[in-house]
Structure 1
Amino acid sequence: MEGFALVLLYLAIPSLLFSAVQQVLSWRKKTLGSEPKFPGPKQFPIVGRIHDLPRFSLWLKFKEWADEHGPIYQTSALDTTFIIVSDEKIAEELLVKRGHIYSGRPQIRSLINHKDGPAYSALMDRHDTWKTQRKWAHAAMAEAYRHHFYGHVEKEMKRFLGLMLLDPARFLDYTREYCGRVMSRLAWDDATQGRATGESADNTLHCMSVSGPITNTVTPLWYIPAFINPWYQYEIKREAEQRAWWLSSFRLAKERMKRGDLPNDTWAYRYFEQLRREGNESLEQTEEQEVFASCMIGFVNLVGVVTISGPLKFFLMAMALHPKWQKKAQDEIDRVCGDRMPTMEDFANLPTVRACLKETVRWRSGVPLGVPHQAEADDEYRGVKIKKGTIVLACEWTLNRVPTKYPDGDNFRPERWLEPGWPTFQEPLTRYPSFREGHSMHSFGWGRRTCLGQNVVDDETFVFGAATLWAFNSGPKICPLTGQPVPIDTQATNSHVILEPNPFQLSFKPRSEERAKQILEGYEGVLGELRL
């Protein structure tokens, strides 16, 4: 194995030498002009600052540098320059007001041709493929939200609660599967794909993350010849399988549409109906058109799992570790809902539940690094020239800990959303806090690259949080040998671009025998219509 690694290193040397030459030429230009630049950590020849960057929990290092160098600083890795922002106003000036410049996506080395499409719209550059997919997805999501996702969130929640009652130790698996089932039902009318969708999303995130293949950080390794390049071979196989799966789901949905048994509350139905309105009654398409559409719907399905399951797992963690807030939220639910499971109709009357959810996402962001933007043209900001290709990161972890806006930012404080005097408080509490509007919407990105999923996040997280608190009391798992709580590391995560916490243990108990009976009745009530 050591010999193989040595061979790989030697094969990468030409690319490393090329990077070194580029660096030397760049330094010569800089010394001749001595242009002003943003502050930042000391840079080293060729590698910049890649040599001591952690592949896991990178956001903690960025926060450390922000505390030292200020709200905007720069660093580099090999031949790439990064500008790290930890101030909302600066991020708005660059990523929103100058969105026509800073809305590109950088090349993720271990994803093949993702900037061109059509597989991952959120990772494409801004071109016609991206515009078409984004416009369609925005309209489809808005229509589904207008009907509060057709009741699928509540139905799947009843299934989730029933499974939790029967086997609470698998709460992490059930949480991700719940998210996957909602999205797969909306996409293809096939909730049985929920678990596979979650696994596919996890694999995709691994391949696009700093903590994933080493080729995402030591990029010259990607150019090792394909026949002995394990990272390239793996990605070719993974993406081909994913695309084939999406295409198969698309074609099955099309056959159902032709037979007249595809529900009209699915995104596939919406797409096929649009084809018919445009005159394509037979729904016949080229394979290229089918791949385009299947990727468009498949990616919306995929991204809707990973962006929600992580925050929900952190929410369960937060409630178990903060019993005072668990009790406050449960008292509110009991006062408003009594013996029935909460639904979206209770949204306005449960601000404490919403505050706990909003605070969870601030306290343990699902995207702590933020999603990178790339400069599509040369620019200048505060007297510093920013070259085309520079990557700009608004670091979410640091933004969520700015003391003037988030006092005591390292601690879980839902009251910051509920009590006057806190910088994030907004009225009326029937409307705020939420994931649709108000403070801290930067969690969904910036400007022209803002995530389109605020509405499904708001509905899905609210129903999950309220219903779980209505059904169960939770707490840390007690070790049977020591009688002590099993420790939970709240910062231990998979370190993907979009996070989920590492596995942890909790205890769940129904709040009463009557409540357990109601959970089972709800579970039995949806079994007939849910495909398991």
Structure 2
Amino acid sequence: MLVVWTVAILVIAWLTSELIAPPTKTKAGRKPLPGPPGKPIVGNLFQIPPCHSWLKFKEWASTYGPIFQLNLAGRQHIVLSTEKVANDLLRERGTYYSSREFLPMASGIVSREMRPLLLPYNDLWRRTRKLMHQLTMSTAADSYQPVQDYESKRLLISLLNEPRRYEKWFELYASGVIFRIGFSKWIETGEESAVKKIIQVNHNLERVASPGAYLVDSMPVLNRLPDAMAPFKKEGRRLHEEELTLFRELQSDVRRAVEKGYEGQSFTRTFLENQSRYQLSDDEGAYVIGTLFEAGSGTTAAAMMSYCLAMCHFPEWQKKMQDEIDEQVGDRMPEFSDMPNLPTVRAVIKEVLRWRPVTAGGFPHQLTKDDEYDGFFFKKGTIFHPNQWAIHRDPVSYPDPDNFRPDRWLDPKFPTTYKEPLSKFPSLQNFSCFGFGRRICPGQNIAERSLYILTARIAWSGSIFKVKGPDGKELPLPLYDYTKGFNTQPEHFDFDMVVRSQDRHEFIKKSLEEARSRRPE
């Protein structure tokens, strides 16, 4: 059977000439693009690891420089490995560096060209982005703080009681915030059918959109195979039907509630009440809200898991945060209004995002016209990968890059990262971990508030420690053992969390009860 498949693929490739297209030639007078040598026909396709490809890309960057090319079966890909080149191209030239490559499986079969994350830079994307901006701009994000306040208090109780179930608690927090502001629904247990389904949709997307997950996305010619020889088509159609059915149900629930007189606000209600203004169909709007859930739930949870890992390895920074909070806030729980006075808290979570970026490989951009940069020529259609793992480990921008150094955001001795005033900086606004240019994550305002309040309140309430063995010695804990997928988080590790005082524990419980009593239904 394998022989039959191989012959079929090569025959189709020969007929279409898609896989044997030569790499883009360098124009006269232009510098040749460096990059690892590849194999005949497939180029570098099978030299890229199936998971954590960003590590290999960084290794190649050390050899070939901050701009190097890969030939993936005749298709040119460029990897960018410093913040400067990524900003110069993807931000400053965003008009023609903001499209997406069409991925037959992820963009086409699963998303039916409606998921904003995967849309090319076209009119539909601009209309979806307009809606996203309306829902997530700074003033709108401020209005969601009561939900973040309630959900963060609920998380503190769970985390203090059962710290080794932290994955569930962080996912419940992140999903709870976005589910409420997206669909006017509170999550109580995380076991609700709609919640489990939308989290599964999120996991499906991370898997399907991961580089190398499906050969058809690297070799689009395979999409021409008949269904009997392309089982990925059946799987993709099933995934699309599952997610679209769910998105429609959630949208319909909000529509019915509004018709019955429900007054609560949500992403979905804002869309429905302004649908003609955005010129989006019901399904297109449903995918916008679904995408915001995808962007806001998994990433926030993953970042906080890396935060816990960092506190296990670098407890001195936990102590510095606690000292700052005690001095500036005292015994009461930190509030959003305290954040300007807590630069160490902000520096720690920003350093977590640099040290262990959630989207470590970045998300690729596609060039829509020929361009030149620093003596290199890039042909229209070239795919650019901003490799965040390498970008955040550029020693010019981030000295001592492999170490966890929040002081790089607080100390003038680090001129490339330190900014004043400390009442404003460090800030997560437009930080490269959220992407670049016109494709920057639209939910960064909401994510920033979620991460700040969680970091401050966890440090205020308790201390995180490595687990100790029977002999009283700390058990070893890997610095880097991360899951596979587009968004990554640490593989499960155990840690202990000890409440800083019983008074604070009682204060949290009382505060949660009060917040629950005020919670609108």
TM-score, reference length from structure 1: 0.89
Aligned partner of residue 65 in structure 1, secondary structure: helix
2:81 and 2:27 map into 1 onto residues whose CA distance is 31
Match of 2:11 in 1: 14
2:461 and 2:215 map into 1 onto residues whose CA distance is 43
8 A Cα contact 2:96 2:369, kept in partner = yes
1:31 and 1:268 map into 2 onto residues whose CA distance is 49
8 A Cα contact 2:347 2:407, kept in partner = yes
2:243 and 2:469 map into 1 onto residues whose CA distance is 40
1:247 and 1:262 map into 2 onto residues whose CA distance is 21
2:281 and 2:300 map into 1 onto residues whose CA distance is 29
8 A Cα contact 1:375 1:391, kept in partner = yes
8 A Cα contact 1:328 1:352, kept in partner = yes
1:43 and 1:8 map into 2 onto residues whose CA distance is 23
Match of 2:244 in 1: 243
In structure 2, which of residues 476, 486, 502 is the aligned counterpart of residue 487 of structure 1? Answer: 476
Matched, 1:458 2:454: no
Aligned partner of residue 263 in structure 1, secondary structure: coil
8 A Cα contact 2:363 2:385, kept in partner = yes
Whichever residue aligns with residue 421 of structure 2, its letter is P
1:452 and 1:394 map into 2 onto residues whose CA distance is 18
2:423 and 2:300 map into 1 onto residues whose CA distance is 23
Shifted more, 171-180 versus 118-127: the winner is 118-127
1:340-355 matches, cutoff 5 A: 340-355=332-347
Tell me how far 1:352 sits from its aligned partner.
0.6
Distance 1:317 1:308, change over 3 A: same
8 A Cα contact 1:351 1:432, kept in partner = yes
In structure 2, which of residues 412, 434, 459 is the aligned counterpart of residue 420 of structure 1? Answer: 412
2:241 and 2:130 map into 1 onto residues whose CA distance is 26
Match of 2:201 in 1: 200
8 A Cα contact 1:115 1:123, kept in partner = no
Q: How many positions carry a matched residue from both structures?
A: 514
Distance 1:334 1:198, change over 3 A: farther
Distance 1:300 1:412, change over 3 A: same
Shifted more, 328-337 versus 189-198: the winner is 189-198
Tell me how far 1:475 sits from its aligned partner.
1.3
Matched, 1:151 2:143: no
8 A Cα contact 1:103 1:126, kept in partner = yes
In structure 2, which of residues 142, 145, 159 is the aligned counterpart of residue 164 of structure 1? Answer: 159
Match of 2:190 in 1: none
8 A Cα contact 1:211 1:496, kept in partner = no
Match of 1:468 in 2: 458
Match of 1:448 in 2: 438
1:404 and 1:31 map into 2 onto residues whose CA distance is 29
Matched, 1:376 2:368: yes
In structure 2, which of residues 93, 101, 120 is the aligned counterpart of residue 98 of structure 1? Answer: 93
Aligned partner of residue 432 in structure 1, secondary structure: coil
1:34 and 1:436 map into 2 onto residues whose CA distance is 40
Task: List per-residue Cα deviations over 1:401-443 (Å, max 9, x = no partner).
Answer: 1112211000000111111111211111110011125xxx222
1:253-402 matches, cutoff 5 A: 253-264=254-265, 266-275=266-275, 289-402=281-394
Match of 2:497 in 1: 508
Task: List per-residue Cα deviations over 1:303-331 (Å, max 9, x = no partner).
Answer: 11123221111111111211100111011
Task: List per-residue Cα deviations over 1:334-381 (Å, max 9, x = no partner).
Answer: 222222221211110111111100000111111222211111122233
2:405 and 2:174 map into 1 onto residues whose CA distance is 26
1:521 and 1:159 map into 2 onto residues whose CA distance is 11
In structure 1, which of residues 523, 527, 530 is the aligned counterpart of residue 512 of structure 2? Answer: 523
Tell me how far 1:446 sits from its aligned partner.
1.8
Matched, 1:54 2:43: no
Tell me how far 1:506 sits from its aligned partner.
1.3
Tell me how far 1:272 sits from its aligned partner.
2.8
**Cα RMSD (Å):** 2.8
2:442 and 2:267 map into 1 onto residues whose CA distance is 15
Tell me how far 1:10 sits from its aligned partner.
4.4
8 A Cα contact 2:107 2:115, kept in partner = no
Distance 1:336 1:52, change over 3 A: same
Give the gaps of 5 or more residues in structure 2: 188-193
Distance 1:356 1:14, change over 3 A: same
2:49 and 2:87 map into 1 onto residues whose CA distance is 28
8 A Cα contact 2:109 2:240, kept in partner = no
Quick one: percent identity of the two aligned structures?
29
Whichever residue aligns with residue 453 of structure 1, its letter is G
